[in-house]
């Protein structure tokens, strides 16, 4: 019998004592929804209750602190998203579906110049056009804003100069679209056209008129927006390497390609409050920026997040068009709607940075990775956006999952006269991850070892520290590698397939929530807050600011509340659209929502749970420790017939105070190093992933098609496996686009040549390989029920897996992304020429003959496997820091053990000469230092 | 996106359509024809070459015939792709056009008369303003060509229709009708000059149907298309070939998406004096590759596209010869 | 105000209902459906025929409403996503998109549903390749298409009768409404 019932619910129904008292164990069970004494309470789902608390759910990674709150109701079960019915019936309301009475249409005038000063704007003819109700220019809102408080460099509309073609110059609202469009032709503007910069390499040079001016922090008179230098470890280890890889990459910019174009509706209500409807991932940042730009206190603004038709990072900045709509609506006194065309979507951009990346890697005689040396020059476009963070992420997120002898990173982000780059799924980590994983593949080939074994013998264990001081908790990297190796039948395919067919491996490592909330001190205000309210009807209303952008965050929050309270998910109502009712939340970025919001929601739900149990205690006389929650009923553990319905307990708990209200918050523990930039990349947990991709390369045309992917991702615990698999497969699609076909093409003249979905080539269903998603559950100790992120990390490994597979197929390493057929064909041609002009079909396929090192790696991998398992299950709780593999004592500061162990964030003068491309940004001095020289 | 204002007309017969056209011509009013709209409407949404009137052919009955020897201009590409009545080469070429959804709107006539394309041209009005327009749509400014600067005599926009080369190698005949009556032009003579002139249609004329000679059913054909994605994409290069098995002189080859007009490669075939066989595929493919000159105005670079003509031709010829891949 | 093209009365049968709308003669079907008829489930993604978010069925055939002149489909039968469900009873294809992960952000979903429903009306036993062909004109950025194909396969099974029909949307749970407080409650300590 399930759940330890003495008796199946419903048996012997109707049997009562004459005195009206209950016969223990022989009562009817309650109907869904109420509890009490009705016959059909669902039996406990022991398959979804962990072993450690008496259920049957296996826990290979050990028990979890949340186990005792598991009721087997929702967690770990594949389920439809709670808002899916709105989506399949067409009732989900996206930005363009907000239609307010009396609304008018706003249009934005955009710059025809790459870079120009605005000498004057004459709007008189615009204003005179019948039907025009409001006109605004940069002068109407001169306060700057930006997503990061340290780099506020945007205006609602250009104030002094425009910085790229498509930059906002002015806006107009009119009774209809045709009038607004006509009005745009009537602006009279005098321009002073400046020399634009398109090539990020040029951005490192001094210029007469830098695109932005940062005052005393400006680097020379260049366009360098941010530069980073980081050096950790023992640099002497890289001398005399057994294997080394040196690759120079060029990666094109890519766009999020969400299907819903930006759209915004602004309405100043009769009380003078701004109601702003916008599909935002991070409504709170928009809220702050609106307040600054409009000079209206935040409490007089209600940001209403509509359904979001895909975000992927592209809807996380506060946007100038949101300001424009508000300004126009204030002027016109009527609601203003602005819809973007697809071209405008590309012009506002915030996609992945076009990058020049150089990676030097070395391995020593035991095939340990003695050094990573990364240089990343990233093209920021016209504005800072998230670029400050991206500059760090390009380096620091490459410091794991491997144990490194040393790590050296120089990064620079420069402004250019192109649409601004920003955060996109896998923020900052994607490009360098690809470069590093391909370098590992190359080193494995030099050492004649299997690249999977090379990785397995160099992994950081669970509960360890990376070289730059990140705290790794749960770590499913090893299991992920093992499972894709097995699933793909790697050992019988790698380096054994015929020309044109190839298989490749890639790994990933990503943050599960940023450890530092950008706008406040995490010691003074939590990362996430969730409010919960239950009234007499028993329905649970959850207020959260987490923005559901399709990833299912609302569902995840509803699921954890449902799990803790043992209520069907239909009774959990998540309200997350309005800033008026939602607690402040940082929104959906840095893969933080599941980890932080679900944790906060669990805490609020636990508060309610305690109140319910205490009420039941009072009613039943049994201490909460021996009470069980299951399907709207609370009963005595050893006699399920003795219990009260959820509603009875609830009403008891409400006796004195009415509605039950609870608030839960999440704050990450203090962690990380103290060096400058230590907070970048810091997260309460990290996700790990390993993919194997199989490709077909047409050697005559260079067309690459990816046929199969085995994708293992460690998400800690899959709260909703269906959604996790959806994230994995979707990430494959997006990553494949970047590696095979997507690029933002800036032509000879610096214009974006493909601002539409026909020429910006997102893979169609035919390009999609068959993906086998493999969920690895490492049960994170701090994650909600053990969960970590699954939204961004799964994107990382697909790029290197495909690039490595292409090498396996044709024996040519290509470091220009995307691998469009012309690029691949060119690489094949130069290879065939170098081999004496042979035919493409005669290319030699790479083969592998294991060297003695292979046995060393296999042995070390096996040893580490035991080590990792013990650490994962907390059987071994000793300290472990990066460096142990190289023989260092984890309990002593490494600086004391190794002469030359470094932890530097600025180059010493001797290093300046040998810095890579981005490192050259350090050749210039900041303005304040220049003044000091005088 | 806002449609620019125009008047849409729905003639119900060919005669009515011609009458409308002659009225507009007489009044010197500009107009366009629209069939499925999948080529014209994007350009209109971008405010490219918008005319005052648009005459829809959708309501004219009887011009959507689908058969081995005759295909009406209004035959939908989706229907052609699924049809077992048309020549398999036509069905195959039609099935490779754009996407399933677009094929349900698009028509044969529209595909034949596809406007030429160029990434300096197929852009919004704002975008084109930012490059000071181009030669193909200069908005009265006399702008230079952006692909090859300092030559504003010819437009080098690329013709990216998928079906024309197949019609050519099946020796199709295009029936044109207009205010001055009906005429017929072989498909290989239909396309003309540059990216602006495009074809031999005079003002007021439109394509009525395409017919094929007796015996076309004996032809074996193959169309090879180069594109990055298997859906949506226009051809970056396309080669069609056909012959009547065992009759070397019946070999026909045509290419598309490489120049401003699709190319009929009879002269390259004629230049090779030997009898067509598998041994000849290599040299013929090379000759055809050498004869074309793509420019840089589509997604892939011209040098690559040119090289691919050899591969596509080779594959197409091997297929009609029944050779193993 | 800028004069538009001359307005005409546009008539069609939208989701089984005769509608009349006043629209410019050059109006695009997408604009008429959204702005005049009020079918906001028809989405505008790219407006140029690539994304498929605006797909509707015209006389049973899935077509792009953004590249269709409204005037060309006068008096024809148009089905939008709003016309799929039978009252509160979702069509199998709708339920399956929800339960099989076919819809994430949901913006492309209406278009996919149209392409899928049209396919299933013609072919109740499609292969995965058949399905891929039917949805090749629809762009999805979230799902990578795989779960969409799963959803369509599942719906085909229901249509063929190989799987049970979904429970109506109006009844998502046997009894989601908890009973009132009139139930007998047990005093503390009762069980001892």
What value does the mean pLDDT take over residues A248-254?
Answer: 97
Nearest to A704 by CA among A832, A834, A839, A799: A799
Cβ of A758 and B232 within 8 Å? Answer: yes
Task: For tokens 């009525």, name the residue.
Answer: B208
Q: 3-class DSSP state for residue A680?
A: coil
Q: Which of B9, B10, B79, B100 to mutate to test the interface with C (most CBs of C within 10 A)?
A: B100
Say if residue C183's pLDDT is above 50. no
Distance from the Cα of C168 to chain B's closest Cα (Å) equals: 30
* Chain pair B-C, CB pairs under 8 angstroms: 92
- B12: closest CA of chain A, how far (Å): 31
| Buried-state track A527-539, b at ≥16 Cβ within 10 A, e below 16 | bbbbbbbbeeebb
pLDDT of C168 over the 60 cut: no
Q: Which CATH superfamily is domain A95-194+256-348 in?
A: Aldehyde oxidase/xanthine dehydrogenase, a/b hammerhead (3.90.1170.50)
A78 or A913, which is more confident? A78
Residue in the block written with tokens 């509890």: A35
pLDDT in tens, A350-400: 999 999 999 999 999 999 999 999 999 999 999 999 999 999 999 999 999
Instruction: Provide the domain count of chain C.
Output: 2
Structure confidence at residue A50 (pLDDT): 95
CA distance A880 to chain C (A): 38
**E-state strands within A194-329:** 224-234, 243-251, 263-268, 274-278, 301-305
pLDDT score at A656: 84
CA nearest A22 in C: which residue?
A: C191
Would the CB atoms of A701 and B226 count as touching at under 8 Å? yes
Q: Tell me the mean pLDDT in the region A256-273.
A: 97
User: Would you say residue B206 has pLDDT above 60?
Assistant: yes
Say whether pLDDT at C1 is over 70: no
In a domain, C170, yes or no: no
| Inter-chain touch B56–C71, beta carbons under 8 Å | yes
Torsion of CA B127, B130, B132, B138, to 10 degrees: 20
At residue C178, does pLDDT exceed 80?
A: no
> Would you call A722 and C100 a contact, using CB atoms and an 8 Å cutoff?
yes
Q: For residue A401, is the peptide bond before it cis, meaning its omega torsion is within 30 degrees of 0?
A: yes
pLDDT value of position A901: 80
Does residue C177 lie within any of the structural domains? no
Nearest to C48 among B45, B100, B230 (CB): B45
Which among A90, A179, A647 has the least Cβ separation from residue C82?
A90
Main-chain phi, psi angles of B269, to 5 degrees: -70, -45
Per the structure block, which two tokens stand in for A506? 């890639």
For A113, the closest chain B residue by CA position comes to B130
Q: Which two tokens stand for residue B42?
A: 């994007």
Would you place residue C187 in the very low, low, confident or very high pLDDT band (cuts 50, 70, 90)? very low
Q: Which domains does chain B have, with CATH numbers?
A: 1-61 (3.30.43.10), 222-321 (3.30.390.50)
Task: Read off the pLDDT of residues A423-477 as tens digits, 9 standing for 90 and up.
Answer: 999 999 999 999 999 999 999 999 999 999 999 999 999 999 999 999 999 999 9
CA distance A393 to chain B (A): 31
Picking from B1, B2, B228, the nearest residue to A741 by CB comes out as B228
| CB distance B61 to B80 below 8 Å | no
A25 burial (CB, 10 Å; 0-12 / 13-18 / 19+) is middle
- C66-117 pLDDT, tens digit per residue, is 999 999 999 999 999 999 998 878 999 999 999 999 999 999 999 999 999 9
Q: Which of A9-13, B236-240, B308-312 has the lowest mean pLDDT?
A: A9-13
Is B100 close to C135, i.e. CB distance below 8 A?
Answer: yes
Determine, yes or no, domain membership for C190: no
Of A174, A620, A771, the CB nearest to C146: A771
**C87 within a domain of the structure (yes/no):** no
For domain A517-666, the CATH class is alpha beta
Asked whether residue C13 falls in the same domain as residue C73, the answer is yes
Site of tokens 């060509």: B145
The beta-carbon neighbor of A821 closest among B2, B231, B300 is B300
Tens of pLDDT, residues B280-298: 999 999 999 999 999 999 9
The stretch B2-21 carries a mean pLDDT of 94
Q: Which of C80, C101, C120 is the last residue of a domain?
A: C80
In chain B, residues with a C-beta closer than 8 Å to the C-beta of A822 are 300-301, 304
Q: Give me the interface pTM, i.e. the ipTM.
A: 0.96
Q: Are B228 and A763 in contact (CB under 8 A)?
A: no
A550–C104 C-beta distance less than 8 A: yes
Tell me whether residue C178 is in a domain: no
d(CA A481, CA A798): 13
DSSP annotation string for A755-806: -STTTS----GGGPPEEEEEEE----SSSGGG----SSGGGTTHHHHHHHHH
The answer to whether the Cβ–Cβ distance between C26 and B5 falls below 8 Å is yes
Task: Among C80, C102, C129, identify where a domain stops.
Answer: C80
**How confident is the model at residue A520, as a pLDDT?**
77
Average pLDDT over residues A322-343: 97
- A517-666 shares the fold of A95-194+256-348: no
pLDDT digits (tens, 9 = 90+) for A627-681: 999 888 899 998 888 888 888 899 999 998 889 999 999 998 888 778 888 888 9
Instruction: Give B253's contacts (C-beta < 8 A, 6+ positions apart).
Output: B169, B239, B240, B241, B264, B265, B268, B269, B284, B288, B313, B316, B317
Q: Which of A111, A701, A751 sits opposite B308 (nearest CB)?
A: A701
Domain positions in chain A are 95-194+256-348, 429-516+680-896, 517-666
Q: How many CB atoms lie within 10 A of CB C20?
A: 11
Residue C74 lies in a domain: yes
Q: For residue range A117-154, list pLDDT tens digits in order.
A: 999 999 999 999 999 999 999 999 999 999 999 999 99
CA distance C33 to chain A (A): 12
Helices (DSSP H) in C58-160: which residue ranges? 92-99, 109-122, 128-134, 146-160
- What mean pLDDT do residues A750-766 have? 96
The H helix count followed by the E strand count for chain C is 5, 5
pLDDT at C172: 41
Nearest by CB to residue A308, choosing from C105, C132, C180, is C105
Residues written for chain C: 192
Nearest to A822 among B146, B231, B301 (CB): B301
Q: What is the mean pLDDT of residues A246-256?
A: 97
Query: Which residues of chain A make contact with B317, given a CB cutoff of 8 A?
Result: none
**What's the whole-number mean pLDDT along residues A903-911?**
88
**Distance from the Cα of residue B308 to its chain's centroid:** 19
Residue B307 near chain A (CB below 8 Å): yes
Which run of H or E residues covers position A169?
Answer: strand A168-174
What φ, ψ does residue B279 adopt, rounded to 5°? -65, -20
Give which of C72, C116, C118 to mutate to test B binding, by max B Cβ within 10 Å: C72
Q: Closest chain C residue to B230 measured between Cα atoms?
A: C136
Residue-level pLDDT at A494 = 97
Q: Do C67 and B102 touch (CB under 8 A)?
A: yes
Q: What is the mean pLDDT of residues A706-725?
A: 97
- Residue predicted with more confidence, A782 or A33: A782
On whether any CB of chain C is under 8 Å from the CB of B58, the answer is yes
Give residue-wise pLDDT tens across range A339-362.
999 999 999 999 999 999 999 999
Full domain range(s) for residue C19: 7-80
For B270, residues 6+ apart whose C-beta sits below 8 A from its C-beta are none
Instruction: Using an 8 Å CB-CB cutoff, list residues of chain C that contact chain B.
Output: 3-6, 24-28, 31, 47-50, 52, 55, 61-64, 66-69, 71-72, 115, 133-138
- CB atoms A766 and B2 under 8 Å: no
pLDDT tens across A798-832, in order?
A: 999 999 999 999 999 999 999 999 999 999 999 99
Is C66 inside any structural domain?
yes
Distance CA B165, CA B316 (A): 12
Residue C187 lies in a domain: no
Over residues A555-582, mean pLDDT: 94
| Packing angle, helices A477-487 and A852-872, rounded to 10 | 130
Q: For residues C67 and C111, state if they share a domain.
A: no
Mean pLDDT over residues A735-757, rounded?
96
CA distance B306 to B287: 11
Q: Which chains touch C (3 or more CB pairs under 8 A)?
A: A, B
Task: Report the mean per-residue pLDDT for chain A.
Answer: 92
Q: Which of C85, C136, C147 sits opposite A726 (nearest CB)?
A: C147
Q: Are C105 and C65 found together in one domain?
A: no
Give the span between the Cα atoms of A93 and A98, in whole angstroms. Answer: 7
pLDDT for A513-541, tens place per residue?
988 887 777 778 899 999 999 988 899 99
Q: What is the mean pLDDT of chain B?
A: 95
pLDDT in tens, B66-113: 999 999 999 999 999 999 999 999 999 999 999 999 999 999 999 999
Q: What's the CA gap between C155 and C166, in Å, rounded?
A: 10
CA dist., res. A370 & res. A835, Å (int):
33
Nearest to A283 by CA among A329, A256, A319, A326: A319
pTM: 0.94
pLDDT of res. A6: 40
Same domain, C15 and C68: yes
Task: Express as a percent the part of chain B with pLDDT over 90.
Answer: 91
> How many angstroms away from the CA of A589 is the closest CA of chain B?
30
Structure tokens at A343: 């071209």
Structure tokens at A626: 């021996």
With beta carbons less than 8 A apart as the criterion, state whether C80 and C33 touch: yes
- A485-521: per-residue pLDDT in tens? 999 999 999 999 999 999 999 999 999 998 888 777 7
Report how far residue C125's alpha carbon sits from residue C156's, in angstroms, rounded to the nearest whole number: 6
Q: CB contact, 8 Å: A523 with chain C?
A: no
Using pLDDT thresholds of 50, 70 and 90, give the confidence band for residue C167: low
Q: Residue A285: in which H helix or E strand, if any?
A: helix A283-294
Q: Which CATH number fits domain A429-516+680-896: 3.30.1490.20, 3.90.1300.10, 1.10.3720.10, 3.30.365.10?
A: 3.30.365.10
| Cβ distance of C132 and A766 shorter than 8 Å | yes
Chain A touching partners, 3 or more CB pairs below 8 A? B, C
- Given a cut of 50, whether residue A907 has pLDDT beyond it is yes
Phi and psi dihedrals of A654, rounded to 5?
Answer: -85, -5
C169 pLDDT more than 50 = no
């Amino acid at each position: 019998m399930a759940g330890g019932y003495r008796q199946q619910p419903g048996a012997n129904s109707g049997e009562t004592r004459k005195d009206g008292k209950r016969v223990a164990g022989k009562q009817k069970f309650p109907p869904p929804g109420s509890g009490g004494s009705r016959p059909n309470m669902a039996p406990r789902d022991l398959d979804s209750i962990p072993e450690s608390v008496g259920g049957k759910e296996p826990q290979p990674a050990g028990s979890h602190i949340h186990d005792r709150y598991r009721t087997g109701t929702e967690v770990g079960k594949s389920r439809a998203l709670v808002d899916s019915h709105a989506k399949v019936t067409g009732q989900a309301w996206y930005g363009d579906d907000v239609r307010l009475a009396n609304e008018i249409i706003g249009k934005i005038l955009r710059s025809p110049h790459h870079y120009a000063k605005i000498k004057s704007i004459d709007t008189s003819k615009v204003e005179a056009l019948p039907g025009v109700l409001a006109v605004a220019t940069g002068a109407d809102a001169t306060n700057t804003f930006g997503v990061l408080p340290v780099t506020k460099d945007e205006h609602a509309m250009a104030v002094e100069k425009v910085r790229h073609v498509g930059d906002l110059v002015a806006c107009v609202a009119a009774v209809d679209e045709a009038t607004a469009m006509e009005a745009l032709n009537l602006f009279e503007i005098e321009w002073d056209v400046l020399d634009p910069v398109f090539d990020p390499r040029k951005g490192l040079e001094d210029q007469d008129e830098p695109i932005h001016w940062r005052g005393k922090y400006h680097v020379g008179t260049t366009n360098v927006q941010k530069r980073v230098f980081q050096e950790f470890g023992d640099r002497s280890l890289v001398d005399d390497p057994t294997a080394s890889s040196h690759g120079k990459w060029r990666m094109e910019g890519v766009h999020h390609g969400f299907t819903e174009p930006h759209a915004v509706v602004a309405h100043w209500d009769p009380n003078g409050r701004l109601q702003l409807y916008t599909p935002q991932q991070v409504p709170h940042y928009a809220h702050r920026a609106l307040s600054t730009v409009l000079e209206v206190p935040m409490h007089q603004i209600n940001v209403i997040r509509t359904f979001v038709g895909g975000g992927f990072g592209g809807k996380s900045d506060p946007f100038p068009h949101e300001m424009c709509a508000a300004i126009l609506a204030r002027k016109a006194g009527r609601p203003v709607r602005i819809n973007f065309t697809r071209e405008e979507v590309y012009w506002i951009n915030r996609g992945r940075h076009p990058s020049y990346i150089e990676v030097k890697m070395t391995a020593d005689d035991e095939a340990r990775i003695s050094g990573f040396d990364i240089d990343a020059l990233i093209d920021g476009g016209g504005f800072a956006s998230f670029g400050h963070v991206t500059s760090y992420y390009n380096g620091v997120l490459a410091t794991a999952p491997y144990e490194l002898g040393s790590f050296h990173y120089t990064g620079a982000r420069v402004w250019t006269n192109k649409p601004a780059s920003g955060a996109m799924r896998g923020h900052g980590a994607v490009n360098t991850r690809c470069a590093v994983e391909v370098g590992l593949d190359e080193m494995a080939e030099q050492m004649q070892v299997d690249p999977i074994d090379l990785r397995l013998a160099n992994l950081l264990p669970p509960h360890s520290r990376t070289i730059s001081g990140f705290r790794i908790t749960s770590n499913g990297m090893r299991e992920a590698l093992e499972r894709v190796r097995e699933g793909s039948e790697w050992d019988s395919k790698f380096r054994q397939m015929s020309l044109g067919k190839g298989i490749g491996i890639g790994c990933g490592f990503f943050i599960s929530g940023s450890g530092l909330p950008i706008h406040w001190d995490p010691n003074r205000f939590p990362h996430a807050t969730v409010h919960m309210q239950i009234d007499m009807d028993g329905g649970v209303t959850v207020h959260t600011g987490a923005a559901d952008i399709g990833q299912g965050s609302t569902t995840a929050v509803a699921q954890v509340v449902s799990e803790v309270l043992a209520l069907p998910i239909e009774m959990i109502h998540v309200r997350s659209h309005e800033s008026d009712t939602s607690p402040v939340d940082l929104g959906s970025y840095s893969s933080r929502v599941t980890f932080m919001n679900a944790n906060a929601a669990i805490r609020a739900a636990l508060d309610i749970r305690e109140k319910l149990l205490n009420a039941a205690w009072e009613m039943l006389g049994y201490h909460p420790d021996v009470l069980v929650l299951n399907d709207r009923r609370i009963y005595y553990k050893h006699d399920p017939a003795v219990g009260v319905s959820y509603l009875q307990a609830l009403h008891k708990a409400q006796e004195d105070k009415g509605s039950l209200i609870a608030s839960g918050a999440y704050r990450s523990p203090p962690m990380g190093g103290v060096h400058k930039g230590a907070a970048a990349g810091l997260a309460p947990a990290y996700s790990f992933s390993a993919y194997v991709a199989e490709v077909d390369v047409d050697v005559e045309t260079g067309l690459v098609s990816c046929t199969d992917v085995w994708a293992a991702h460690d998400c800690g615990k899959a709260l909703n496996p269906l959604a996790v698999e959806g994230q994995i497969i979707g990430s494959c699609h997006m990553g494949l686009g970047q590696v095979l076909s997507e690029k933002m093409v800036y032509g000879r003249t610096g214009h974006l040549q493909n601002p539409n979905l026909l020429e910006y080539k997102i893979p169609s269903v035919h390009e999609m390989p068959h993906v086998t998603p493999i969920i690895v559950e490492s049960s994170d100790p701090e994650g909600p029920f053990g969960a970590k992120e699954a939204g961004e990390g799964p994107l990382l490994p697909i790029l290197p897996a495909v690039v490595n597979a292409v090498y396996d197929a044709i024996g040519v390493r290509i470091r220009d992304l995307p691998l469009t057929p012309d690029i691949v064909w060119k690489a094949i041609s130069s290879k065939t020429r170098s081999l004496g002009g042979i035919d493409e079909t005669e290319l030699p396929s790479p083969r592998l003959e294991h060297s003695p090192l292979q046995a060393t790696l296999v042995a070390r991998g096996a040893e580490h496997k035991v080590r990792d398992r013990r650490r994962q299950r907390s059987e071994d709780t000793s300290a472990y820091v990066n460096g142990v593999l190289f023989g260092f004592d984890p309990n002593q500061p490494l600086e004391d053990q190794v002469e030359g162990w470094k932890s530097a964030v600025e180059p010493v003068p001797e290093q300046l000469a040998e810095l890579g491309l981005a490192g050259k940004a350090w050749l210039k001095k900041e303005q304040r230092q220049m003044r000091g020289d005088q | 996106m806002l449609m620019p204002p125009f008047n849409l007309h729905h003639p119900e017969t060919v005669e009515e359509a011609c009458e409308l056209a002659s009225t507009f011509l007489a009044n010197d009013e500009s107009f366009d024809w629209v069939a499925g709209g999948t080529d014209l409407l994007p350009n209109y949404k971008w405010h490219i070459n918008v005319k005052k009137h648009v005459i829809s052919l959708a309501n004219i009955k009887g011009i959507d015939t689908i058969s081995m020897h005759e295909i009406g201009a209004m035959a939908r590409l989706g229907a052609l792709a699924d049809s077992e009545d048309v020549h398999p080469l036509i069905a195959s070429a039609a099935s490779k056009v754009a996407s399933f959804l677009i094929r349900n709107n698009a028509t044969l006539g529209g595909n034949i008369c596809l406007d030429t394309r160029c990434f300096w041209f197929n852009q919004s009005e704002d975008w084109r303003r930012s490059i000071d327009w181009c030669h193909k749509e200069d908005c009265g400014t006399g702008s230079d060509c952006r692909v090859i600067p300092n030559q504003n005599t010819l437009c080098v926009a690329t013709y990216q229709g998928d079906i024309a080369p197949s019609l050519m190698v099946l020796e199709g005949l295009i029936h044109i009708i207009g205010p001055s009556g009906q005429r017929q032009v072989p498909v290989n003579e239909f396309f003309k000059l540059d990216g602006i002139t495009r074809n031999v249609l005079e003002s007021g004329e439109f394509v009525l149907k395409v017919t094929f000679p007796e015996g076309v059913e004996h032809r074996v054909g193959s169309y090879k298309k180069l594109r990055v994605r298997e859906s949506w994409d226009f051809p970056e290069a396309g080669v069609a070939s056909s012959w009547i098995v065992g009759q070397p002189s019946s070999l026909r080859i045509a290419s598309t998406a490489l120049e401003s007009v699709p190319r009929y490669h009879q002269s390259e075939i004629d230049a090779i004096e030997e009898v067509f066989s598998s041994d000849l595929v290599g040299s013929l493919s090379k000759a055809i590759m050498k004869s074309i000159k793509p420019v840089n105005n589509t997604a892939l670079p011209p040098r690559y596209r040119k090289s691919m003509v050899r591969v596509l031709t080779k594959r197409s010829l091997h297929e009609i010869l029944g050779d193993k891949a | 105000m800028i004069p538009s093209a001359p307005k005409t009365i546009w008539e069609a049968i939208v989701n089984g209902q005769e509608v009349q709308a006043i629209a410019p003669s050059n109006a695009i079907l997408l604009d008429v459906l959204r702005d005049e008829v009020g079918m906001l489930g028809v989405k505008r993604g790219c407006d140029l025929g690539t994304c498929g978010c605006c797909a509707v069925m015209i006389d049973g055939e899935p077509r792009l409403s953004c590249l269709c002149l409204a005037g060309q489909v006068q008096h024809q039968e148009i089905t939008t996503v709003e016309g799929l469900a039978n009252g509160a009873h979702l069509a199998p294809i709708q339920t399956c998109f929800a339960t099989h992960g076919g819809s994430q952000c949901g913006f492309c979903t209406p278009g996919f549903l149209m392409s899928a429903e049209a396919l299933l009306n013609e072919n109740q036993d499609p292969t995965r390749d058949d399905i891929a062909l039917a949805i090749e004109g629809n762009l999805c950025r979230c799902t990578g298409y795989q779960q969409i194909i799963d959803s369509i396969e599942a719906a085909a099974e229901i249509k063929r009768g190989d799987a049970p029909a979904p429970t109506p949307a109006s009844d998502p749970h046997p009894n989601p409404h908890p009973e009132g407080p009139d139930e007998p409650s047990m005093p503390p300590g009762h069980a001892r």
